Structure 1
Amino acid sequence: MTQTSPRRLPRGRHALSRREVERLHRDRLCAAMAAAMAENGYVGTSVEDVLKRARVSRQSFYGVFSSKLDCFMAAFDKASALLRHRLEGAAEGGGDPLARFERAFDAYLEALASEPGYARLFLVEVYAAGPEAVRRRSEIQQELAAALVGLMGLRGEKAAFACQMIVSAVGAMVTPAVAAGDMAALRAVGPPVIEHVRLLLESGVLEN
């Protein structure tokens, strides 16, 4: 995914099907939404701002989305899919539970750092978008906690609850850095979190 302004699709007849054109418009509009909000926030971003960045007509926008919120939710899902893809890649390979966690957590931080627009959308602007977006954010956090349990090979309710706390705490810790656009501060979250997880494993709080 890219946040740069894409070229307009060629006018007239071309080889793309209508479904493919709609998919391309959707991708362009989601990227434009993320880029616009990185500068102006959710409240300060209008449909017109998104159209200008995506170089898509208003008619094409409403052929894909019903509203700004609808476009935001699609962009949010794009951000979630990107994050999952990075974590799935990091999950491949062996190692003990701490090594697997460290690999996945590093991938998480790098995903946020490499896609600042989507990161801000996912972590900051989601709260300005309203209850539907916040509910979806909560669902994603629960999914990440469950994935963390599986990744580390943990079991038991105590471990599952600890993973929920880790995911929630990490979200709270990285959000200020993402909001400020401070990638150094974002990456600096890594070592102390990894050390804390090591202590939790050694103490038996995270049973495996």
Structure 2
Amino acid sequence: MPESASHRLPRGRHALPREEVQRIQRSRLCAAMAEVMTEKGYVATSVGDVLKRAGVSRQSFYEIFASKLDCFNAAFECAGELLLARVSGTIAEGAGAEPAGDPRRAADARLERCERAITAYLEALAGELPYARLFLVEVYAAGPEAIRRRGRLQEVISDALAELMGLGEEADRFACRMLVAATSAMVTPPVAAGDPDALRALGPPLIDHVRVLWNAGIFDRPAASASAAEPSAGRDRS
């Protein structure tokens, strides 16, 4: 997990290996990049601003990063790893074996995991607003490569959601990409405004709408489709 930019290495000589010092400095610089951009935006943020916030020398900065954009890209990777770790951890805590021999209960269990993932995602954004802003807002000011990284990470999140919901068909994965894209669009304004309460307030309506889509069969669930088909089959035989 990225360390706070305010954390300082002890002054004077210390016993940490050079690689560990650079790891700590890299983490602090990434956190500082996210924090300063929250206040000034990517364009107005300078390397000097990041150095001042992180308490790292210019020489040390350029031993780790080639440029401000290089530091931004590293901070973006930190943001993505943090969000995915928070969501995965929450899901793992509540994970259990799916009910055997009961397709409907198994489907409900997958839906519940999806709902936990949505809640965990919103909590992660609310708890890490500087990284959330970097991930959702400032990335578009950092240029084409940063935007491509954003797109690739969104695909990773979409695929993870599809796995949670037990979906493998391409049409279902496309529905997950639509859901993730819509959620991203909805959380961006409160992230930009720095409003964690508004982020958390999105949880219940998002979850309600996912349930509506699930129950309407937008996601193809063979077990649900089969059970839904049985009454009509019986009527045809009568």
Query: TM-score, with normalisation over the residues of structure 1?
Result: 0.96
Distance 1:124 1:161 in 2: 24
Distance 1:192 1:3 in 2: 33
Distance 1:26 1:123 in 2: 21
**Per-residue Cα deviation, 1:56-83 (whole angstroms, up to 9, x for no partner):** 0000000000000000000000010101
Residue aligning to 2:18? 18
**Per-residue Cα deviation, 1:114-141 (whole angstroms, up to 9, x for no partner):** 1111010010000011101000000000
Matched, 1:63 2:63: yes
State the secondary structure of the residue aligned to 1:7.
coil
Pick aligned residue for 1:195 from 182, 197, 208: 208
Shift of 1:4: 4.7
**Per-residue Cα deviation, 1:7-26 (whole angstroms, up to 9, x for no partner):** 244223x2111111111110
Contact map agreement 1:8 1:56 (CA 8 A) in 2 = no
Residue aligning to 2:155? 142
Shift of 1:157: 1.7
Contact map agreement 1:3 1:34 (CA 8 A) in 2 = no
Matched, 1:51 2:51: yes
Larger radius of gyration: 2
**Per-residue Cα deviation, 1:9-62 (whole angstroms, up to 9, x for no partner):** 4223x2111111111110010011111011001011100000001100000000
Distance 2:5 2:27 in 1: 12
Query: TM-score, with normalisation over the residues of structure 2?
Result: 0.84
Contact map agreement 1:51 1:58 (CA 8 A) in 2 = yes
1:1-208 paired onto structure 2 within 5 Å: 1-12=2-13, 14-92=14-92, 93-94=95-96, 96-208=109-221
State the secondary structure of the residue aligned to 2:220.
coil
Distance 1:106 1:2 in 2: 24
Contact map agreement 1:29 1:51 (CA 8 A) in 2 = yes
Shift of 1:155: 2.6
Contact map agreement 1:155 1:207 (CA 8 A) in 2 = no
Distance 2:123 2:180 in 1: 16
Contact map agreement 2:3 2:24 (CA 8 A) in 1 = no
Contact map agreement 2:3 2:27 (CA 8 A) in 1 = no
Distance 2:38 2:79 in 1: 13
Q: Which runs of 5+ in 1 are unaligned?
A: none
Shift of 1:112: 0.5
Contact map agreement 1:41 1:125 (CA 8 A) in 2 = yes
Distance 1:9 1:67 in 2: 26
Q: Percent identity?
A: 59
Q: Which amino acid aligns with 1:106?
A: T
Distance 2:138 2:214 in 1: 34
Between the two proteins, the alignment pairs up a number of residues equal to 207
Q: Which amino acid aligns with 1:137?
A: R
Q: Which amino acid aligns with 2:39?
A: E
**Per-residue Cα deviation, 1:72-107 (whole angstroms, up to 9, x for no partner):** 000000010101111111222136122111111110
Contact map agreement 2:5 2:29 (CA 8 A) in 1 = no
Once structures 1 and 2 are overlaid, which stretch shifts more, 151-160 or 66-75?
151-160
